[in-house]
Structures are given as structure tokens and as C-alpha cells.
């Protein structure tokens, strides 16, 4: 009996020892580092990394925005008396007046604005002889003119001295006059003695208090006289659209004209 009990205890002890040994072997197997990869496996891994880098680089190239050159800007138009942002110079005319003369610069408006044209006259030694200026109201697409009186007696010119002229201009853009643009038409005109009679018709809703009628007189296609007057000084019957009235002007010069040009300035 005692031998049998001893044998059972021995078997239990052996069983426990075997279990402990198996657990220890399993733990050792888990703790042991895996063997290094072979050279073929390393080469394959390097190729995979290189391919991945190349694919990433191609994707970046595809997503990079294309460089675009800035659009070419057109050079700014030179601002001259003949052509600028505000008007186109049509022609320069003159006619004698006393010992001097009158110079007319005809223009066509390129936009609605108030424009000032300044003329500076220089002597041979670049000294300033005089400065002349005129300001007019321009209407886009309509003609008008600047007017200047030249008096050589006030220029201090020496006998035979040559002179030169320079021009400059400024403008107030989007200028809105008191009256309507294109508000009065010249229907008819005729001379009687020394008087010129002008028949006007109101075609706009309102004639401004400072609106002008401006005239150029020609004979044989040569300019011989000019005049500009305020409507309010010569007519009072232009109140509503469709009204007509007659202005009377005394012609102290230029009465032998055979053609005239009419300009409305609002």
C-alpha cells in the first residue's frame, strides 16, 4: 500500500515537471529572435521600396500645378494732343484778329468729361512767353473746340525771334453738367443787315443755365470768325422738350461768311 502511494506521488511529480519543462521551452521559442532574411529576400524588399518611391514621385509630378506665364500687358497709349483718353484732335485752325490772331483746336470727345487744354509759348532761349488755357465740356462722340487769343504785342518777342508751343491737358472724368447733353439743335439761321438770327429747337428735357452755343464761321472754306454764347443770355423760350426760340447776334466781324458750324456745349 505504501509502495502504491509512493508510485502515484512520483507520477504526479513527473507530470508536473514535464509541464514546467514544456512551458519553459515554449517561452524560449517565443523570446528567440527570428533569423535574418536571406540576401534574395533583402533585394526583393529594396526593389519594393524603390518602386514605391518612384510611384510617389510620379504622383507628385502629376499633381504639381503647371507654371503659367503672366499675360502680356499692352503698353499704355501715349497721351498726345492728337489722341488721348479724353478726346481726338481733329484740326487746328486760326484767323487774324487785330495784330494777333485766334487759334481754334477742334476735337471730338472720347468720353463725357470736362477737359482743360493749356498752351505754353517759349522763346528761342526757352523763356516762357505766355501761358494760355481753355476749359470745355466734352460729350462722347460729339465735336467741340478750344479757343485761344494770341496777342504778339504781349509776348515780348524780338524782331525775327522764333517761338515754339507746348501743350498739356487735364480732365475731370465722369463730369455731369447741369443740363442734359445734346439738348438743343440749330434748325435754321439767316443774316439780316448786321444781325445773325439763329433758330434753336430744344430736343432734350433740360437746357442747363451754363449751356452754350458755339459757332465757327467760314468763307471759301477758310475760318474767318468764331463766337460762343450762353443760351440763357439770348433765349428764354427753351423750357420744355420741343420748344423753339430765336437768338439775335450782332455781327461786328465775319458777317460775309458763307458757312457756319454749330456746337452745343452742356
Domain boundaries, the chain: 87-173, 184-265
% of residues, the chain, pLDDT over 70: 71
Sequence-ordered alpha helix ranges (H) in the chain: 2-31, 39-63, 231-234
Give the pLDDT confidence score for residue 15 in this predicted structure. 44
DSSP codes joined into one string, 164-228: EEEEEEEEEET---SSPTT-EEEEEEEEETTEEEEEEEE-SS---TT-EEEEEEEETTEEEEEEE
Q: What is the pLDDT of residues 181-214, one digit of tens each?
A: 999 999 999 999 999 999 999 999 999 999 999 9
Assigned CATH class of 184-265 = mainly beta
Assigned CATH class of 87-173 = mainly beta
Fold: same for 87-173 and 184-265: yes
Q: CA separation (Å) from 86 to 80, 149, 168?
A: 10, 23, 12
Give the chain's mean pLDDT.
Answer: 80
Closest to 135 measured CA to CA, from 143, 126, 144:
144
Amino acid at each position: 500500500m505504501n509502495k502504491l502511494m509512493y508510485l502515484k506521488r512520483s507520477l504526479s511529480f513527473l507530470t508536473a515537471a514535464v509541464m514546467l519543462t514544456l512551458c519553459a521551452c515554449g517561452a524560449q521559442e517565443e523570446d528567440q529572435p527570428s533569423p535574418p532574411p536571406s540576401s534574395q529576400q533583402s533585394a526583393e524588399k529594396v526593389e519594393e521600396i524603390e518602386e514605391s518611391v518612384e510611384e510617389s514621385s510620379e504622383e507628385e509630378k502629376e499633381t504639381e500645378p503647371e507654371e503659367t506665364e503672366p499675360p502680356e500687358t499692352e503698353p499704355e497709349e501715349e497721351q498726345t494732343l492728337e489722341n488721348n483718353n479724353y478726346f481726338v484732335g481733329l484740326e487746328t485752325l486760326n484767323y487774324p484778329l487785330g495784330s494777333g490772331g485766334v487759334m481754334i483746336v477742334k476735337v471730338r470727345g472720347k468720353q463725357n468729361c470736362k477737359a482743360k487744354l493749356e498752351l505754353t509759348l517759349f522763346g528761342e532761349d526757352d523763356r516762357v512767353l505766355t501761358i494760355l488755357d481753355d476749359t470745355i465740356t466734352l460729350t462722347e462722340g460729339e465735336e467741340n473746340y478750344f479757343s485761344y487769343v494770341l496777342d504778339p504785342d504781349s509776348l515780348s518777342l524780338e524782331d525775327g525771334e522764333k517761338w515754339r508751343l507746348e501743350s498739356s491737358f487735364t480732365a475731370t472724368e465722369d463730369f455731369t453738367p447741369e443740363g442734359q447733353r445734346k439738348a438743343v439743335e440749330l434748325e435754321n439761321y439767316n443774316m439780316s443787315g448786321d444781325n445773325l438770327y439763329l433758330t434753336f429747337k430744344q430736343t432734350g428735357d433740360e437746357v442747363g443755365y451754363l449751356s452754350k452755343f458755339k459757332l465757327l464761321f467760314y468763307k471759301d472754306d477758310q475760318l474767318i470768325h468764331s463766337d460762343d454764347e450762353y443760351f440763357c443770355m439770348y433765349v428764354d423760350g427753351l423750357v420744355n422738350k420741343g420748344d423753339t426760340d430765336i437768338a439775335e447776334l450782332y455781327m461786328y466781324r465775319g458777317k460775309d461768311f458763307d458757312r457756319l458750324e454749330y456746337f452745343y456745349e452742356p
